[in-house]
Chain A
Amino acid sequence: MFADFDQIMERLATKQLWDFAGGVHPDGHKGLSNQHQIADAGLPDYLYIPIKQHIGVDAELIVNVGDRVKSGQPLTESHNPFAVPVHASSSGEVIAIDEHIAAHPSGIKEATITIKVDGLDTQYNFDPVNNYNTRDKAEIVEAICKAGISGMGGAGFPTHLKSNNVKPIEFLIINGVECEPYITADDRLMREHAWQIRQGIDVLNYLLKPRQVLIAIEDNKPEAFETMSIACQQQDNYQVISIPTKYPAGGEKQLIQMLTSREVPSDGLPVDVGCLMYNVGTCYAVADAIIEGKPLTKRVVTLTGKALEKPQNFWVKIGTPVEHLLQLSGYNPDKQEYPRIIMGGPMMGFTLSSVKVPVIKTTNCLLAPEKNELAIVEDERACIRCSACADACPISLLPQQLYWYSTSKDYEVAQQYNLFDCIECGACAFVCPSEIPLVHYYRIAKAEIRQQKVEKEKSEKAKQRFEARKARLLKEKKEREEKHRLAAEARKRAMQSDDSGAKDKIAAALARAKAKKAGQATTEAPKESSGAPQAQSQQDKVAAAIARAKAKKAAQQSDNAASEKEQNTETQKTEDNPSQDDKKAKVAAAIARAKAKKAAQQSEDANEPKQENDQQASEESKPASEISEQDKKAKIAAAIARAKAKKAANKKANDE
């Protein structure tokens, strides 16, 4: 289906390329910022370094608030292949590790390390990988990971993951296209640091062993093309290619298609078609990491737009707040009717809601347009089905159909129209004569579909849990019934064969079992109880049980008292029992027990399991019946005990 390596090389030799579908030609406005050398943005007062600045997971924190850090010192450590560490971009003190507004369209807050910069910029000790071309690949990949490099073109995919590739690579593509209007960061970097970029490419070339390295630069950057050509001329398998200016030629999929005619499968990766792509900024950072041992702590950021007095490129420490850079460029928001700061380019960038947002590893541009420079579109009109959007779409979607199904929430069909293949390049919305913010609608639709998926999975899991529980309960019930049936049969057999003495025993056992069941019933009861009367009887039950327990305890205590007088006294004191007499106490306790039992019986009679409690009561009343002697005092004591028990029970019940 696609051209093979030789066909591609033949075609490239004739300076011919393929083309991708659609595309648009917005005015570049690159001249605003590409005329000056990259300046140093200096040190801000505070650096806000988000813990996660890439696609993947957080690395682990290894500093604490109050720690002094040096420039380049790691702040987090990676133990997960999808984690990329971050580093202090200048020396100072960690004054906070908390939530700070992040470089994200939503203005969400994310975990961020705040460093109060001391202005000394003391350097951390770096450990370069000397003679990398004699080292093991794993060692180099690890060094790239430790340097905290993630793709600097936009998405921020961890570079070490990409570089730890085992599949055969035909084309290593270095992306210096920079197709977004206004942005000139890569342009300036290539013009001024072509040699270091070339060193970075060399490292990647060693790691990946591609058959050919293609360095693609849009033809609106002739100076960059020239410097890169000179830097790469000694390498036989490096080829610098000038590609026609068309947005979004710098998109990974589009550039691969332009250079090789191949299409990255919808559910695949560039490596599936023998390609791997790195941004020129990433190559620069790789060279820093391997040859100098320096981690990624700074990057080139374009400050541009007509609202700035001095638009130009800066070397910016990662974590520098946007505010600092705007001041450097002479931005006066009071002059602006609609002050807007766009992070990224005008096509795919996002507006900031705060100037406290820090520059992160993927920030390539800050754009401050005047009101009419990039008109604010609020005049959305009806779609006239002109399909200018379809003609502009670089991946041959039907944007107006997607718009239709996205806004009508017909998400099934929207997905059939490959909504999730949309790269959100904005070409469709750029050309739309009705000024419909198409990409905005797709984002909403995508987010809602993702949300629905999550919820569906959740409910699916809940359903599974519920069914499993139901099955388990049913099984348990069956087992119980089976057990009871067997026990009953055994009893029947025993009754038929044995005399009355045995019958008594069986009766007792039966009573015990029933009592147990009743206990189970009472514990299960709260779940089922809903009406007020039921709750009342429940309270009664509990009260009775508590009274029973108290009485028992009292009996125990009086028993103990007979042998150990002191202890007895103490215990009785704590129990607030006025009686000092052992005998009396015993009697009182016995009576209290009996009364309590009676009360319990009564309350449980009101409910259902009558006999069981009778049995239980008779069993427990055995020791009580042994005490026959009763006198007045005992009666009083018993009454008091009863009252106390009742009170306690009531209180308990009320508390519950």
Chain B
Amino acid sequence: MSKLTVASSPHYHNQRDTGAVMRMVIFACIPGIAMQTWFFGYGVLIQVFLCVLTAVVSEAIILEIRKKNTVRAVKDYSAVLAGLLLAISIPPLSPWWISVIGASFAIIVVKQFYGGLGYNMFNPAMTAYIMLLISFPVQMTSWLPPISLTEQQFSLWDAIHTVFTGFTAEGYSVGQLRVGVDGVTMATPLDHMKTQLTQGYTVDEALTNDIYSGNSGIGWAPIAIAFLLGGLALIKLRVINWHIPFSMIAGALITAFIFYLVDPSTFASPWFHFINGSLVFGAFFIATDPVSSSTTNNGRLIFGFAIGVWIIIIRTWGNYPDAVAFSVVLMNMAVPLIDYYTKPRTYGHKLKAKSMSEK
């Protein structure tokens, strides 16, 4: 009889490999991206294209230099996902070099310099976002108002033109595009609310602006809900655990609610915080990045909750309108500590303390 193949048990594996996990996350992003495109134009798709391409190329170059199996590593879709998440986070009409610098920084510095997939301590997309935000604050905060509010209508060609030249085909700059029908520069709801509050207006007064529809910024609510649905699908498919999204949103809502109770006229409501900005997107797609988040379920509850608290604190008192990136990266640093103190009780061990001690 021919030689028998010898292997170590288990001999049985489920079919979900890393690539499949990453692809599922990518698919779950699609509703949100579609909504973003609907409200903010084709710029979103151009950024996605640029970021993903740059991320994959950067990954391939570094892996070649490191003499790793490039094809196999690129096929795991982790670079694609990192690029995609960054693209979703940056303003749709940012110049092309923002995307290129950001995506290459995310992959080369944040991911590969730390050892590649599985070894990076920080979330690549968010760290790159922070780098961009600090280095290029003007470009990174130049969010267009939803298409329905802009004075200038623009096409896919306009969007491409703007991203690569800084001007639409007709020669309008991004700054001009941001001017609303009333001639006032449009800001994101969070940005606007922050500015209004610092200028002494109350929340209710701020909400009278055109960019709001009821309590939420126009366009932002549908986007948040689309990401929420995608995220719930990921939980349902057991790609992510519920712990981080749940606790992160809970952390943000509880913190916001406490401030809201203190003074509803100077602090925005929990609902406002939930539906505006990238809280939902961050909760389901950013903070759940397996590599840089906590690995125990109890740890994830702490990790997520702390991110939620930080988001509200930074949104309220920080210099930047949104805070998901800062909060996530802050908590990334705490992950080893959280993991160490949240080991689950092993079967047959009485107390956590005992299981820690010498057996």
- A interface residues, Cβ below 8 angstroms from B: 1, 20-21, 24, 26, 105, 107, 181, 253, 257, 263-268, 323, 333-334, 336, 338-342, 344, 346-355, 367, 369, 374-377, 379, 381-387, 390-391, 394-398, 400-401, 415-418, 420-421, 424, 426, 429-435, 437, 439-440, 443
Let me know if B7 is at the binding interface, CB within 8 A. Answer: yes
* Among candidates A342, A351, A355, A435, residue contacting B1 with C-beta atoms closer than 8 Å: A355
Main secondary structure of the interface of A (DSSP, over half): loop
* Among candidates A267, A346, A396, A432, residue contacting B344 with C-beta atoms closer than 8 Å: A396
B: contact size bracket? 35 or more
- B interface residues, Cβ below 8 angstroms from A: 1-14, 16-18, 20-21, 72, 76, 78, 116-119, 238, 241, 290-291, 293, 295-297, 339, 343-350, 355-356, 358-359
Q: B288: shortest Cβ distance to chain A, in Å?
A: 10
A26-B14, A418-B359 known; A385-B349 Cβ under 8 A: no
Q: Which residues of A contact B293 (CB under 8 A)?
A: 385
Interface contact B343-A417, CB-CB below 8 Å: yes
Interface contact A339-B1, CB-CB below 8 Å: yes
Q: A40: shortest Cβ distance to chain B, in Å?
A: 24
* Docked CA distance A323–B1 (Å): 10
Q: Which residues of A contact B343 (CB under 8 A)?
A: 398, 417
**Which chain A residue has the least Cβ–Cβ distance from B349?**
A266
* Docked CA distance A150–B241 (Å): 42
* Docked CA distance A389–B4 (Å): 29
**Which chain B residue has the least Cβ–Cβ distance from A351?**
B6
Q: Which residues of B contact A400 (CB under 8 A)?
A: 295
**Which chain B residue has the least Cβ–Cβ distance from A354?**
B4
**Which chain A residue has the least Cβ–Cβ distance from B7?**
A351
* Docked CA distance A355–B10 (Å): 20
Interface contact A398-B18, CB-CB below 8 Å: no
Interface contact B347-A340, CB-CB below 8 Å: no
* Among candidates A181, A323, A338, A421, residue contacting B346 with C-beta atoms closer than 8 Å: A421
Interface contact A374-B11, CB-CB below 8 Å: yes
A397-B346, A398-B296, A400-B295 known; A430-B4 Cβ under 8 A: no
Q: Which residues of B contact A381 (CB under 8 A)?
A: 17-18, 72, 76, 117
Interface contact B4-A341, CB-CB below 8 Å: yes
**Which chain B residue has the least Cβ–Cβ distance from A420?**
B359
Cβ-closest 5 pairs across A and B: A426-B10, A395-B347, A382-B118, A346-B12, A266-B348
Interface contact A340-B14, CB-CB below 8 Å: no
Residue of B11, B13, B296, B348 most packed against chain A (CB within 10 A) = B11
**Which chain A residue has the least Cβ–Cβ distance from B241?**
A391
**Which chain B residue has the least Cβ–Cβ distance from A412?**
B358
* Among candidates B11, B16, B297, B348, residue contacting A265 with C-beta atoms closer than 8 Å: B348
Interface contact B295-A398, CB-CB below 8 Å: yes
* Docked CA distance A20–B344 (Å): 14
Interface contact A266-B359, CB-CB below 8 Å: yes
* Docked CA distance A272–B256 (Å): 50
Q: B208: shortest Cβ distance to chain A, in Å?
A: 46
* Among candidates B2, B344, B346, residue contacting A333 with C-beta atoms closer than 8 Å: B2
Q: Which residues of A contact B339 (CB under 8 A)?
A: 401
* Docked CA distance A426–B251 (Å): 36
* Docked CA distance A398–B11 (Å): 21
Q: Which residues of B contact A264 (CB under 8 A)?
A: 347-348
* Docked CA distance A417–B14 (Å): 26
* Docked CA distance A354–B349 (Å): 40
Ordered by A's residue number, 7 sampled pairs between the chains whose C-beta atoms are within 8 Å are: A26-B14, A266-B359, A342-B9, A346-B10, A381-B76, A430-B13, A439-B8
Residue of A336, A396, A400 most packed against chain B (CB within 10 A) = A396
Interface contact A350-B4, CB-CB below 8 Å: no
Q: A155: shortest Cβ distance to chain B, in Å?
A: 15
* Among candidates B3, B10, B297, B356, residue contacting A430 with C-beta atoms closer than 8 Å: B10
* Among candidates B2, B3, B12, B21, residue contacting A386 with C-beta atoms closer than 8 Å: B21
Q: Which residues of A contact B2 (CB under 8 A)?
A: 333-334, 336, 339
Interface contact B290-A386, CB-CB below 8 Å: yes
* Docked CA distance A418–B357 (Å): 10
* Docked CA distance A96–B41 (Å): 84
Residue of B5, B347, B359 most packed against chain A (CB within 10 A) = B347
* Docked CA distance A396–B295 (Å): 13
Residue of B5, B238, B356 most packed against chain A (CB within 10 A) = B5
Q: B180: shortest Cβ distance to chain A, in Å?
A: 44
Q: B251: shortest Cβ distance to chain A, in Å?
A: 21
* Docked CA distance A336–B291 (Å): 39
Interface contact B5-A376, CB-CB below 8 Å: yes
Interface contact A24-B14, CB-CB below 8 Å: yes
Interface contact B20-A433, CB-CB below 8 Å: yes
A396-B344, A434-B17 known; A385-B290 Cβ under 8 A: yes
Interface contact A387-B14, CB-CB below 8 Å: no
A387-B296, A418-B355 known; A340-B8 Cβ under 8 A: no
